[in-house]
Every structure is written in C-alpha cells, then in structure tokens.
C-alpha cells in the first residue's frame, strides 16, 4: 500500500524484471519504498486522501464499477500476435483480448498525441476541445475544457492520473484528479523524474515499467476503500525513438524483417499527394530512418522491441485491478493515442488519415463476464471512451460530447443486427493543414488541405492497404458523390472549418513603464476591458493605436533598457467553444503574454514563436503582450484560427473568414512541431532549446 510519504526510486534490474511474471509481482525491495519526505499536495482531496496517504473508507459501499483507461503512445491496431502479426509476440494483450471485447475497427479523430488525448478526455472532436495540434504549456485546453475525470470526481470517484500527459506541462496536478503522477513535459524513457502530486522524484529504470508499477501501488492503496476508483495511465511506448527495456536488446537479432509491400509506392501511380512523401517519407523525414543510422533493420526492430515492453506493462496493469477485488466489476479500456506508419506507402510517423496512423487497438473489458472474446466490427472511436465511462458511473453524458457509449454493444437483449443498425456508419477525420475526410465501413474519402483540388477515394473492401485511389474511376462516380456530400454534412455537424492565418493589422500600445512594475500591471490590464485610446488608465498608462507597416509594428525607439511597453490585442469568439487561437510572434525584445490575469508564457531568447495560445473564455480574450528592454526592430504578429471563428475588434475586417494567406512565411514558415528529434522548445516561462530524445 502507498505510504504517507514519497516513494523512493524504483530500481528494477533487467534480471529482476525478466524473472518476474510482472513488475508488480516482484518482491517489495524491487518496488518503490517509502522515505521520510512528505508529498502531500493541496490539490489532493481531504475526503479521499491518496497518493501517499491511506485511502479513506466511507461507511457505505458504492457498487459502481471501477474504471481504468490505459493509453499507449503510437501503437497501431495490427501489432498483436493474437491478430496474426508474424513477428511481435504480445501474450498479455492477447490474454486480455480473451477476457474482454475487441473493437476491430477503432479509430482516433486526429492522429497526433495531444489532440487525440484531448478527445479521449473530453469526448469531443479535438478542434472543439481546443486541442487541434500539439498542446504546449499553459495551453487553452487546460483553461477552457472540462474532462470526464472532473465528472467522475464530482460523482464520488477517487481519481488518479499516472503517466505521460502531453497536454501541456505534466509536472503539476490537473483538475479532476485526486492523485497525480506525470512528467515535466514528455519525460525521459530511462531514469525519469516523476512529479508526484507536484513533487519531483527521481526513478531508475525503464519509464513504462515504473509507471505500471506505480499504478499497481496506487490500486493497492485503494484496496480497502469503498469508493469506486478511476485510474488513467499514459504509457510512453512505442513513441520515438522506439526506446525499449534493455531486457529486449537481443530480440529479433537473427530475424530478417521485410519491408511492407507498399514501401516503394509511386504516388504518381497510386494517386496520393506527393507533398506528403516530401515531408513524411521514411528516408527523408528527420526522424525516420535518419534517427536509426539510416537502416530499416534498426528502425523496425526497435519499434517491435518497444511493443514487447508495452505488453509487459499491460500484464502489470491487468493484474493491478485484483487489489480492489472488483475484477468483474471494473471497466478496463486499453487503446493508443494514434497508430503509426512503419514504411507503408514509403512513409513514417502518424498525422495523416490513412489506416496505419488513424487506426488503433481498442480492448474493453466491460463489467461482468458476458463480453469475453466478443468482437465488434463497427466503427468505434476513442471519442467513445468518455461517454462509456460516464454511462457506467451513472453520470449524465453531456450533450457536447460527440462520442457514444459502448455499453449497449454487450447487451444480450440486443441482437447483433440491431447493434449494427443502430450504430454509426461514418467517422470524421482530419489532420489540420493537410487532410480532411471520412471513413465508412467500406470507403474512405480524403480531401487535401495542402494541395488544392487533390482528392482520394479508396474501396477498403477490395483495397484494404489503400494502394490506389478510385476518385476518377467511372464505376465509383456515385460513391464519390455520396462521400463528398457526407463530408460536407460532417464538417457542418462538427463545426469544422479550415484554419487560416493572417497578419494582425492594428494593436494598442501603451506608454513606457518601469519594468519592475510591468508584471502586476500586465496581469491587471488583461483582466479588464479594451483600453481607451488617448486617456490615462488607473495604472497611469496612456494608450495609442498603432497600425502594422511593411516591417511590422514599430513601438518606438525611445524605450530605455529598464523600461517595458505593453501591447493589447482584443479577440472575440463567434462560437461557444474555444477555437484554439495561435499567435505567431517575431520580436527583438524579451516578451511575455498575459490573458485573464495570468502570465501564460515568456520568451527570453527573442526568437520567433508559434505556440502562444490565448484561451477564449466567454467568447472573449484581452491578450496583453509585454516587451522589455531597448530595441529598434519592428514586432511581427500573425493570428491563426479556424475560418470564421474569431473577430479582431480593432480591425474593419471583423472575421477571419476572408483573411488572405500569410505574407510572413519568410520569418517563420512551416515549423514541424512533432518530430524535432534532437531539440524541443520548453516554454515554461522560457524558450530554451534542449537536446533530448523526443
């Protein structure tokens, strides 16, 4: 059981792990032990203290099921030995499949880490959950969205999150969770620092071994509690760079693993967009073969070895629920945030809406035993996790959730024909700026957002590997028309529109102030209304309107070294949901952004940035930019948002619906946030480049 103090370093030797049936079945000296440093956090519920404290036990037993959700990172649906994979052996996942239901056609709405995780937590399409792309620290998702964990917590569940968060900084506890264990940003695969309720602790070993053991310890801590438990675990494998437990270093050493049949696919013949291969081609993508000494053999074997470690974690996590003595009264879901392309179509990575990136494993052990070995081939989405969990917890499913509860799929009173008849027959899929489309049971239709007019149509019954588009085949004219009409309806139903970017034309600029006062004044100003021009406000600032010239915004050459100038940009939303506004900034000054009385990021390196993301709450935000020190160069600003979702009140063109394309590509261009094999931006009040394995 978890003790009242921080748990010490987990030190699992390769031999120890190999000798154990699971990490958590090893003897106590191989598991985290208590030391004397207190880890209790103000975010931990006083009624149900967890994460280092003994679990409270209400006098009345709550018979609602426990809920466990495990999310792998980049595991595709077909790398399971039970599904016939020729090389990878996954006995624990296979065993799980015999004890649970397998959703054979499960998909994510967007095949990138942060958006997919936001969809799981909210039950909403990522663009409606303010997370259509990688979520950096202090992002609007954290400030504008409600997760189903909050609903479960409010309904009396003890809630815990353990593992990779990837929706901003994971070092601090998040709303909805009584117990919290995660990383500062993504964390390391070996010897990670895990922040336990906000307190950093150094561990030794492979990250997923540690996380699954920690989850086991948490379930032990709740063994005597009468309250139902919700545990969510974010595993790190097999994400780049496919790091695996050292016990598997020699796996596949003498095995020759062939490249997929479509490895040398010619896009001019198959009809795919060549710009995709220009970016994600396995030979030219910065973290394709280039991260593995240019060798297919190293690349594919490391990925498969990482899956073996993942299978070990599944074994540990499945056994962990036994501590609660509610094995037959637990909803246990295993899936991944997205799939992964391993040489198919000559590509690597995820992102696109082909089968390899968008399709995921989805195993669900419903409470009771009626689901054992059950298979469902209808279209399931990870959007369905949140409403399913709430359904079993007897919590009303919010109207804003676009997913559906899966509970009815194992209802013995409903025939298989009726299940299929009443289930969805299409799924909306998108990767911003590149592809948008839909998938039905048989067909997939894709429109390029990168190459105007480029479309693709696949018959998945005759061409499951998507080797030849049929959009110009006369035999598929009616199918094409139907799919195009369906996509139009889905985009309207999901309130989706293309993201566009335009230069900011007007800003309000303050008089110079002493830098020592700037932080407090910027916070206060960001809580108010739009500053009045040519008047002195309560902080002693006078404001003027400045228009962008060909160089950008010139805020004056008379700013002294210890002075600060504030710039105000009001933004109004046209919808009830936060559209995830991005601000692109190129400045010679040290700078910061404030919204809603908070400092959301700082840029001390004076570099171009594209991740500042002001939250739109109650359909408005007043963004205050702070610029410190002397400088003579102009400040360049652009705003990106879905077409027609925001208004810049200072400008005559009130909506982004008719904005022209960026005129500033030269200074920023396309910044690929996802791979960054050797560097990342760590903008937790800085913009420092760090050499890491991302």
* β-bridge mates for residue 380, sequence order: 106
What whole-number distance in Å separates Cα of residue 134 and Cα of residue 129? 12
Backbone angles phi, psi at 550, to 5 degrees: -65, -20
HSE of 504, CA atoms in CB hemisphere, 13 A: 30
Task: Look at residue 197 in the predicted model and tell me its pLDDT.
Answer: 97
Q: For 282-323, how does the pLDDT look when each residue is reduced to its tens digit (9 = 90+)? A: 999 999 999 999 999 999 999 999 999 999 999 999 999 999
Q: What is the mean pLDDT of residues 39-56?
A: 34
Average pLDDT, the chain: 85
C-alpha distances in Å from residue 658, one per residue of 212, 570, 648: 50, 19, 13
C-alpha distances in Å from residue 687, one per residue of 304, 418, 601: 34, 55, 9
Residue 331 has pLDDT above 70, yes or no: yes
Residue 558 binned pLDDT confidence (cut-offs 50, 70, 90): low
Q: What is the DSSP string of 497-529?
A: --EEEEE--EEEEEPPEEHHHHHHHHHHHHTS-
Higher pLDDT, 249 or 540: 249
Task: Look at residue 77 in the predicted model and tell me its pLDDT.
Answer: 96
| 3-state DSSP assignment of residue 300 | helix
Q: Which two tokens stand for residue 352?
A: 């696109």
The share of the chain scoring above pLDDT 70, in percent, equals: 84
What burial letters (b/e) apply to 241-252, b meaning 16+ CB within 10 Å?
bbbbbebbeebb
Distance of CA 319 to the CA centre of its chain: 27
Q: Which two tokens stand for residue 373?
A: 């070995």
Where do runs of H (alpha helix) occur along 100-167?
113-122, 140-144, 148-154
Q: Helix 207-221 vs helix 296-320: angle between axes, to the nearest 10 degrees?
A: 10
Q: For 478-510, how does the pLDDT look when each residue is reduced to its tens digit (9 = 90+)? A: 999 999 999 999 999 999 999 999 999 999 999
Backbone angles phi, psi at 378, to 5 degrees: -75, 170
* Cβ atoms of 238 and 342 closer than 8 Å: no
Where do runs of H (alpha helix) occur along 283-398?
296-320, 355-358, 385-392
Q: For 346-385, how does the pLDDT look when each residue is reduced to its tens digit (9 = 90+)? A: 999 999 999 999 999 999 999 987 788 899 999 999 999 9
The Cβ of residue 605 has, within 10 Å, a number of other Cβ atoms equal to 13
Higher pLDDT, 185 or 289: 289
| 3-state DSSP assignment of residue 357 | helix
Higher pLDDT, 611 or 594: 594
Task: Look at residue 58 in the predicted model and tell me its pLDDT.
Answer: 61
Residue 61 binned pLDDT confidence (cut-offs 50, 70, 90): confident
Q: Which residues contact 677 (CB under 8 A, 6 or more apart)?
A: 240, 241, 286, 287, 290, 291, 693, 694
End-to-end CA distance of the chain: 33
Is the bond leading into 238 cis (omega within 30 degrees of zero)?
A: yes
Task: Look at residue 168 in the predicted model and tell me its pLDDT.
Answer: 86
What whole-number distance in Å separates Cα of residue 491 and Cα of residue 216? 42
Q: What is the mean pLDDT of residues 190-218?
A: 98
* Cβ atoms of 329 and 275 closer than 8 Å: no
The Cβ of residue 27 has, within 10 Å, a number of other Cβ atoms equal to 8
Task: Look at residue 673 in the predicted model and tell me its pLDDT.
Answer: 41
Q: What is the mean pLDDT of residues 81-96?
A: 96
Q: For 540-557, how does the pLDDT look when each residue is reduced to its tens digit (9 = 90+)? A: 899 999 999 998 998 765
Task: Look at residue 417 in the predicted model and tell me its pLDDT.
Answer: 86
Q: Which residues contact 7 (CB under 8 A, 6 or more apart)?
A: 32, 33, 34, 35, 52, 196, 201, 214, 217
Token pair 């950096």 in the structure block, residue: 136
Of 2.60.120, 2.30.29, 3.30.930, 2.60.40, the CATH number of 499-666 is 2.60.120
SS3 track for 43-87: CCCCCCCCCCCCCCCCCCCCCCCEEEEEEECCCCCCCCHHHCCCC
* Cβ atoms of 142 and 166 closer than 8 Å: no
Q: According to CATH, what is the number of the domain 14-54+64-368+377-422?
A: 3.40.720.10
Task: Look at residue 35 in the predicted model and tell me its pLDDT.
Answer: 30
- Smallest CA-to-CA distance from 507 within 637, 630, 612 is with 637
Please tell me what DSSP assigns to residue 235.
-
The architecture (CATH level 2) of 427-493 comes to: 2-Layer Sandwich (3.30)
Q: For 128-139, how does the pLDDT look when each residue is reduced to its tens digit (9 = 90+)? A: 999 998 887 778
Q: For 420-471, how does the pLDDT look when each residue is reduced to its tens digit (9 = 90+)? A: 888 999 999 999 999 999 999 999 999 999 999 999 999 999 999 999 999 9
Q: Which two tokens stand for residue 27?
A: 């003897």
* Cβ atoms of 614 and 140 closer than 8 Å: yes
- Smallest CA-to-CA distance from 444 within 377, 380, 379, 353 is with 353
Query: Where does residue 176 fall: left (phi above 0), alpha (psi -120 to 50 degrees), or beta otherwise?
Result: left
Task: Look at residue 557 in the predicted model and tell me its pLDDT.
Answer: 56
Of 50-64, 278-292, 678-692, where does the model show the most confidence?
278-292
Q: What is the mean pLDDT of residues 205-225?
A: 97
Strands 590-595 and 620-628, bridge-based pairing? antiparallel
Residue 213 binned pLDDT confidence (cut-offs 50, 70, 90): very high
The share of the chain scoring above pLDDT 90, in percent, equals: 70
CA angle 616, 617, 623 (to 5 degrees): 50
Q: What is the mean pLDDT of residues 634-659?
A: 79
What whole-number distance in Å separates Cα of residue 4 and Cα of residue 141? 32
HSE of 449, CA atoms in CB hemisphere, 13 A: 18
Residue 264 has pLDDT above 80, yes or no: yes
Token pair 């692109």 in the structure block, residue: 584
C-alpha distances in Å from residue 400, one per residue of 12, 122, 127, 192, 437: 44, 9, 13, 37, 22
Task: Look at residue 631 in the predicted model and tell me its pLDDT.
Answer: 62
What whole-number distance in Å separates Cα of residue 396 and Cα of residue 619? 26
Which residues in 119-202 belong to E strands, given as ranges?
158-163, 179-182, 193-196, 199-202
Task: Look at residue 560 in the predicted model and tell me its pLDDT.
Answer: 67
Q: Which two tokens stand for residue 667?
A: 């200074």
Q: Which residues contact 481 (CB under 8 A, 6 or more apart)?
A: none
Counted residue by residue, the chain has a size of 694
Q: Which residues contact 665 (CB under 8 A, 6 or more apart)?
A: none
> 457: part of which helix (H) or strand (E)?
strand 455-459
Task: Look at residue 676 in the predicted model and tell me its pLDDT.
Answer: 38
What whole-number distance in Å separates Cα of residue 546 and Cα of residue 549? 9
* Cβ atoms of 663 and 670 closer than 8 Å: no
Please tell me what DSSP assigns to residue 471.
T
Please tell me what DSSP assigns to residue 635.
B
* β-bridge mates for residue 336, sequence order: 72
Residue 59 has pLDDT above 90, yes or no: no
Domain extents in the chain: 14-54+64-368+377-422, 427-493, 499-666
């Amino acid at each position: 059981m978890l003790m009242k103090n921080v748990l010490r370093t987990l030190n699992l030797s390769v031999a120890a792990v190999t000798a154990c049936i699971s990490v958590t079945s090893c003897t106590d000296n191989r598991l985290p032990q208590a030391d004397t440093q207190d880890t209790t956090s103000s975010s931990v519920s006083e009624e149900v203290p967890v994460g280092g404290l003994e679990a409270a036990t209400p006098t009345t037993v709550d018979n609602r099921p426990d809920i466990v959700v495990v999310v792998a990172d980049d595991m595709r649906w077909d790398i399971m030995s039970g599904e016939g994979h020729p090389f990878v052996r996954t006995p624990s996942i296979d065993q799980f499949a015999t004890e649970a239901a397998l959703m054979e056609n499960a998909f994510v709405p967007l095949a990138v880490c942060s958006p997919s995780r936001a969809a799981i937590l909210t039950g909403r399409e990522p663009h409606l959950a303010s997370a259509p792309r990688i979520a950096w620290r202090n992002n609007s998702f954290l400030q504008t969205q409600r997760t189903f964990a909050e609903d479960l917590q409010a309904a009396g569940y003890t809630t815990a999150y353990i593992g990779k968060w990837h929706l901003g900084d994971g070092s601090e506890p998040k709303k909805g969770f009584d117990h919290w264990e995660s990383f500062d940003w993504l964390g390391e695969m070996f010897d990670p620092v895990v922040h336990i309720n906000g307190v950093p602790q150094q561990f030794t070993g492979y990250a997923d071994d540690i996380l699954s053991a920690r989850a086991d310890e948490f379930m032990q801590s709740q063994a005597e509690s009468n309250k139902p438990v919700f545990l969510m675990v974010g595993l790190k494998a097999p994400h780049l760079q496919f790091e695996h437990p050292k016990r598997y270093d020699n796996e596949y050493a003498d095995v020759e693993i062939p490249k997929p049949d479509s490895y040398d696919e010619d896009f001019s013949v198959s009809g795919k967009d060549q710009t995709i291969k220009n970016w994600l081609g396995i030979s030219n993508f910065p973290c394709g073969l280039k991260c593995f000494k240019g060798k297919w053999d190293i690349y594919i074997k490391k990925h498969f070895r990482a899956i073996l470690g993942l299978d070990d974690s599944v074994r540990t996590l499945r056994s962990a629920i036994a501590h609660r003595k509610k094995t037959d009264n637990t909803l246990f879901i295993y899936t991944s945030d997205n799939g992964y392309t391993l040489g198919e179509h000559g590509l690597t990575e995820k992102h696109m809406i082909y089968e390899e990136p968008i399709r995921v494993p989805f195993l669900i052990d419903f409470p009771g035993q009626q689901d054992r070995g059950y298979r469902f081939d209808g279209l399931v989405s990870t959007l369905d996790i949140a409403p399913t969990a709430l359904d079993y917890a007897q919590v009303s499913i919010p109207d804003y959730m676009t997913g559906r509860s899966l509970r009815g799929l194992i209802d013995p009173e409903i025939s298989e024909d009726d299940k299929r008849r009443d289930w969805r027959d299409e799924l909306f899929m998108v990767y911003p700026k590149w592809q948008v489309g839909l998938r039905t049971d048989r067909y997939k239709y894709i429109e390029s957002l990168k190459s105007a007019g480029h479309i693709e149509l696949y018959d998945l019954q005759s061409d499951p590997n998507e080797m030849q588009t049929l959009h110009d085949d006369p035999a598929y004219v009616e199918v094409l028309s139907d799919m195009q009409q369906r996509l139009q309806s889905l985009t309207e139903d999901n309130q989706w529109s293309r993201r566009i970017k335009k230069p900011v034309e007007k800003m309000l600029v303050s008089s110079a102030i002493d830098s020592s006062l700037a932080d407090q004044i910027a916070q206060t100003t960001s809580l108010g209304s739009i500053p009045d021009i040519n008047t002195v406000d309560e902080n002693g600032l006078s404001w003027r309107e400045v228009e962008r010239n060909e160089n950008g915004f010139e805020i004056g050459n008379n700013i002294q070294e210890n002075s600060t100038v504030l710039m105000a940009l009001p933004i109004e939303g046209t919808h009830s949901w936060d559209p995830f506004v991005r601000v692109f900034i190129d400045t010679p000054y040290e700078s910061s952004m404030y919204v809603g009385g908070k400092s959301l990021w700082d840029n001390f390196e004076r570099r171009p940035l594209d991740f500042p993301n002001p939250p739109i709450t109650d359909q408005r935000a007043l963004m205050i930019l702070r610029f410190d020190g002397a400088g003579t160069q102009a400040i360049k600003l652009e705003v990106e948002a879905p077409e027609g979702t925001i208004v810049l009140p200072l400008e005559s063109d009130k909506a982004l619906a008719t904005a022209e394309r960026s005129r500033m590509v030269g200074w920023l261009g396309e910044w690929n946030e996802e791979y960054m094999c050797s560097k990342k931006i760590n903008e937790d009040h800085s913009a420092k480049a760090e050499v890491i394995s991302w």
